Structure 1
Amino acid sequence: MRYLLTLSALALTVSAAVAQVGPPTSQRTCGANRQLVLKDGAVVLDTGPSTYARFVRSGAECTVGQFPEPAWVPSSNNPQCFIGYRCKDGSDDF
């Protein structure tokens, strides 16, 4: 039963992520990229040829055991645009 719930949640996440992928971040301004993250809370964006990543506005969008790490992407007007955060797995070294 737990496996089915996990699988269902994963399928919903993948479906939502695929629907949100748009043009590469390099084709939008830094402000437009940042606004997407702020508006939706969590988005998957095209960051380069065959490269996608999930960006979040805060640690509230990360799962338990993850922490927000600052993230930068290339944009049309800034090669290192601060877009928000990426959720990273916590370290086992406590």
Structure 2
Amino acid sequence: MIRILLSSLALTFVATAATAQVGPPTSQRPCAENRALVVKDGAVVLDTGPSTYARFVNSAAKCLVDQFPEPAWVPSSNNPQCFIGYRCRDSSDEF
């Protein structure tokens, strides 16, 4: 019984931590604030629209070995095409 309770508590904590990371969409923050999140954390998942999320990085060092950084732009409150950093793309991805 204690084991089930501890497991449930741990699962609740993980779910709460993941939920706490979700902020307002990029379109509701200024461009500089969106960019600062990526620069500060190095790699971050941001809400880019209704039910869409994307991972952005500040350098190729945050990508996997077989990936390369591709410049990324998102809508922000003051710029419809805000350069936010990079997205990691697989070398096999089609464009």
Q: Which of the five TM-score ranges fits, normalised by the shorter chain? A: 0.7 to 0.9
Corresponding position of 2:57: 56
In the alignment, is residue 38 of structure 1 matched against residue 26 of structure 2?
no
Q: For 1:87, what is the secondary structure of its paired residue?
A: strand
TM-score, normalised with respect to structure 1: 0.76
Corresponding position of 2:66: 65
Runs of 5+ unmatched residues, structure 2 = 1-14
Q: Which has the larger radius of gyration?
A: 2
- Equivalent pair of 1:21/1:43 in contact (CA under 8 Å): no
In the alignment, is residue 28 of structure 1 matched against residue 29 of structure 2?
yes
How many Å apart are 1:17 and its aligned residue? 6.5
CA distance in 2, matches of 1:86, 1:30: 17
Runs of 5+ unmatched residues, structure 1 = 1-14
Corresponding position of 2:76: 75
Structure 1 residues 17 and 37: alpha-carbon distance in aligned structure 2, compared to 1, 3 A threshold: farther
Residue type at the aligned position of 1:21: V
How many Å apart are 1:91 and its aligned residue? 3.2
The sequence identity of aligned pairs, in percent, is: 82
CA distance in 1, matches of 2:58, 2:18: 15
